[in-house]
Structure 1
């Protein structure tokens, strides 16, 4: 996109109208608010829906299998973002990607809202994975298009947008969890579908007036010949997958377990291939190669961190359901409510952390040291869960305050690694791979959850002490190693601070 085209897009967007920001921020704020409301509302009850008995409204899947599927679900959502970004860049632009993604997400939640079978569950899974991959990365891109390159409001605009994400994620588990408790899971999923529908209405009816040309350009469109070749390859791939599935499923070769194993392998191989391609590319300079090497330990640290953080919706959700006292201070707590703690703590503490870094200025820790501290916080959040189990054993229910403390501690780690990681990615990325390196950063979450799909198999009430202790201890040890290595890593970063 040329600077002329970029400025033309900026000029087409009303530059005031939403707290001193471009009017389009209203459209994108509430579109993403409702999309995150629908996604996190669904996610808050999904694992319970999978393993609850049919008599209780669930699918009756094996509990360990449900935890693995939940991890694979999250992994595929992040992987699909790479495809969603490519489709927006090469075929139909970010605005249409957001619209198509919202429709698929809504249909996926409607599929869950209809009492059905495991087959219907997997239909919804495919729709939501593809839909989120289209919407999630591209709505953020549209936000950036509304501001000129030198607009001092840009960072504040993304902060407001980020608050919209977390506000939706905070409210959803409270509402959807309460509805599913009072009625059944399908009513909860229906609320999630309605949330996405409201988000689509906001987008459809305000985008023309508020967004102007933002999101309409296709940055690197396919030529007619490339388009024909791409669609041919896509059609062949769909047919091949259909034929293979028709053969392998009846033969018992494509099972839950084999699919989980396949996604785990892809979650590791895809980012590995990215690193190899970037490092060996002739377009990557010597300085950039050094920075790629510096990025590898940061990426691995991010995988370790997200492997713990993302278990908030799997292992800790199961812990809330099975091991936690849900009658507290005269209040009956839904286990889904605990999913609201992460976004709530981010809303509270993100401004504090941001102000702290501004105050420290040049005296703040280096990027590798911040990553090392995040690993230590993540490990500590798991070790905290050991304390009630150690004193009360595996038979007694524990106070919900232990879970609250665990979620709080891991948020401290998240605020050290998530915004810092995004910033580091933009700084360390080779010029020829700037967009792809950002995709690589999100693949850290995909890899983490792909690995989690295997790790969660070792969790049970009987093994919880060893489970939390081993993973929490490993994260702290890796954090200490990263801290010791940080000066060396900083050297490879070649002047990037």
Structure 2
């Protein structure tokens, strides 16, 4: 099966049936919709669950610790995509990776739904981290498989797929993060997240054969029998080693939340660096593919900067919504978790506009590097905006919620310039032998960003928020200018890919 050509895979997928796109987009759209419903619903209340007092149904952690853990959680979720991409490329293909990942995610949410201790919280983290690593990069990779590389619908298809992601992310905070759940029991919300993932699994299994054809069934670079034996041995040794290390370091006080945060920060930078080097040096990578990998490096760095700002919407801005924002607004008692719906809401509204715009512009649209530069510009401006109310009214007064609304809106403009375009560019720039793993590398930019954020968020406080937002926003704007100036050179390394 690994020798099936890309053209044959595309031919096996019904090419019409979902808004003028391949029918398989329906299956992938709604599978990812339910997975994102479960993940973002859980994430909308997770920070509050960590730092609310035990008497309020929380774990009673400090605000700083909760912010760092939240960032590390997000980093590990995306970092685990390396494992998911490798397993799909070398062992069982993307379709099976999606199914196995969904099972683990559902079990993770069930673990959170059971009232327990901090230990149960960490068990759920492990399950959701591994499950998302299996599912998320491979769903996106299959989207790339159902289009030919020359199909003009490709970028628009990824934008529609991206809208499905954000439709789930938009609905879930209103349901899972409602005032009723926040005031009654966080575990009810986590149970809702588990149900969402279950529905996604059912839909995927029922529709994949008819809609996806051969997409997701091939193994791009299968292991030989001898390699499988070695891999099994390595996995067993690694599990035993990790168990021994934890058994020694935790009682000795060496493995703490702080030290773990630092360790993940090193991994966040080290793993993508190693990945780039291995793919670049691999004999399975052609000269043309190496050139495209060089072009991918500045795009990756830009992506890290962008996500470092965007992902603070679920950490710093989530805390800002709870502690610095007027929640009684226009006669409505707002839940702080509802602000998590703003980002996906704006994407739902604007994604069709951007998809239409790219198709309408055709060959006249900005190049991929130029789109990334625009993404960084808007991200930087979003942090410049959120420092204004603190500058005008000080750190002691509550802020009008419309400032948060405007901040989320501006960063979404950047996200639509960068994220769906990055997904599409990754599938086109990826070496053939590393297709799923290159998609994992794209998600590692988010992992690196959140690993960095785990260190950065420690410096935030209402007293220094102007400096905090101003420095980070300013760096992003400067990088956007530099990337725009370098765009023609980067484009030349892409060897015909726009």
Shift of 1:151: 6.7
Shift of 1:491: 4.8
Shift of 1:288: 5.1
Q: Which moved further from structure 2: 191-200 or 151-160? A: 151-160
Whether contact under 8 Å (2:41, 2:193) holds in the other structure is: yes
Q: Equivalent residue for 2:442?
A: 441
Q: Is 2:455 aligned against 1:457? A: no
Q: Secondary structure at the match of 1:398?
A: coil
Change (3 A) 1:224 1:358: closer
Q: Equivalent residue for 2:139?
A: 139
Shift of 1:113: 1.0
Shift of 1:150: 7.0
Q: Equivalent residue for 1:198?
A: 199
Change (3 A) 1:404 1:109: same
Shift of 1:146: 4.9
Shift of 1:424: 3.6
Find the aligned partners of 2:493 and 2:89 in 1 and give their Cα distance.
32
Count of matched residue positions in the alignment of Structure 1 and Structure 2: 497
Find the aligned partners of 1:232 and 1:491 in 2 and give their Cα distance.
43
Shift of 1:92: 2.4
Cα deviations by residue, 1:20-60 (Å, 9 ceiling, x for unpaired): 65554443332221111000100111111111111111101
Q: Equivalent residue for 2:127?
A: 127
Q: Is 2:416 aligned against 1:405? A: no
Change (3 A) 1:97 1:274: closer
Shift of 1:281: 4.6
Q: Equivalent residue for 1:98?
A: 98
Q: Equivalent residue for 2:393?
A: 392
Find the aligned partners of 2:182 and 2:47 in 1 and give their Cα distance.
14
Q: Equivalent residue for 1:317?
A: 318
TM-score by length of 2: 0.91
Q: Secondary structure at the match of 2:177?
A: helix
Q: Which moved further from structure 2: 326-335 or 158-167? A: 158-167
Cα deviations by residue, 1:127-155 (Å, 9 ceiling, x for unpaired): 00011111112223344455667777665
Find the aligned partners of 1:22 and 1:380 in 2 and give their Cα distance.
37
Shift of 1:63: 0.8
> Could you say which structure has the greater relative contact order, defined with CA pairs below 8 angstroms and 6 or more residues apart?
2
Shift of 1:305: 0.8
Find the aligned partners of 1:389 and 1:432 in 2 and give their Cα distance.
50
Q: Which moved further from structure 2: 199-208 or 131-140? A: 199-208
Q: Equivalent residue for 2:84?
A: 84
Q: Equivalent residue for 1:379?
A: 380
Q: Equivalent residue for 1:30?
A: 30
Shift of 1:420: 2.8
Q: Is 2:366 aligned against 1:365? A: yes
Q: Which runs of no fewer than 5 residues in structure 2 stay unpaired?
A: none
Cα deviations by residue, 1:312-340 (Å, 9 ceiling, x for unpaired): 11000010011000111111111111111
Q: Equivalent residue for 2:308?
A: 307
TM-score by length of 1: 0.91
Q: Which moved further from structure 2: 183-192 or 307-316? A: 183-192
Cα deviations by residue, 1:215-235 (Å, 9 ceiling, x for unpaired): 344343333322222111111
Change (3 A) 1:468 1:277: same
Find the aligned partners of 1:284 and 1:221 in 2 and give their Cα distance.
16
Change (3 A) 1:466 1:153: closer
Change (3 A) 1:104 1:145: same
Q: Equivalent residue for 1:166?
A: 166
Q: Equivalent residue for 1:266?
A: 267
Shift of 1:82: 1.6
Q: What RMSD in Å do the two structures reach over aligned CA positions?
A: 2.7
Counting only pairs closer than 5 Å after superposition, residues 144-293 of structure 1 correspond to structure 2 as 144-146=144-146, 157-178=157-178, 179-208=180-209, 210-211=211-212, 213-281=214-282, 289-293=290-294
Counting only pairs closer than 5 Å after superposition, residues 8-23 of structure 1 correspond to structure 2 as 18-19=18-19
Find the aligned partners of 1:95 and 1:363 in 2 and give their Cα distance.
36
Change (3 A) 1:170 1:244: same
Cα deviations by residue, 1:284-303 (Å, 9 ceiling, x for unpaired): 56665554444322221111
Find the aligned partners of 2:494 and 2:158 in 1 and give their Cα distance.
26
Q: Is 2:471 aligned against 1:478? A: no
Change (3 A) 1:388 1:154: closer
Q: Secondary structure at the match of 2:463?
A: coil
Shift of 1:267: 0.5
Shift of 1:366: 3.5
Find the aligned partners of 1:96 and 1:110 in 2 and give their Cα distance.
22
Q: Which runs of no fewer than 5 residues in structure 1 stay unpaired?
A: none
Change (3 A) 1:429 1:156: closer
Q: Which moved further from structure 2: 257-266 or 138-147? A: 138-147
Shift of 1:418: 1.5
Q: Which moved further from structure 2: 20-29 or 30-39? A: 20-29
Find the aligned partners of 1:488 and 1:23 in 2 and give their Cα distance.
37
Find the aligned partners of 2:293 and 2:131 in 1 and give their Cα distance.
31
Q: Equivalent residue for 1:44?
A: 44
Shift of 1:493: 4.6
Shift of 1:8: 6.4
